[in-house]
Amino acid sequence: EGLTIHTVIADRGYDGDAVLRAIPNPVIPPKKNRKIQREYDEHLYKERHLIERIFLYLKNFRRVATRYDKLASSFLSFVLIAASMLWLK
């Protein structure tokens, strides 16, 4: 509620007609077997690996990967600590 989505960057697995209609500016490469190949922003899609690397780094923390915390606030606090460590690195 209150969020506006401008662009969604996703992989080929999300190349469905329903998903493409729901997103205002999808950056999703078409599947190889799609009859009509559509255009997408290849330059912006190449930036997707940065987000993937951040999630990979955060999952190196065992506490984040397995979510030992019962409270969402405790989990978020540790994710913020891990993100701070990434930023300081």
Residue 75 has pLDDT above 90, yes or no: yes
> pLDDT per residue over 38-62, tens digit each?
899 999 999 899 889 999 999 999 9
DSSP per residue over 25-74, as a string? SEE-PPPTT-SS-----HHHHTTHHHHHHHHHHHHTSHHHHHT--SSHHH
Q: Which of 61, 49, 66 is nearest to 86 (CA)?
A: 61
Residue 1 has pLDDT above 80, yes or no: no
User: pTM for the complete prediction?
Assistant: 0.65
Give dist(CA 52, CA 62) in Å, integer.
Answer: 17
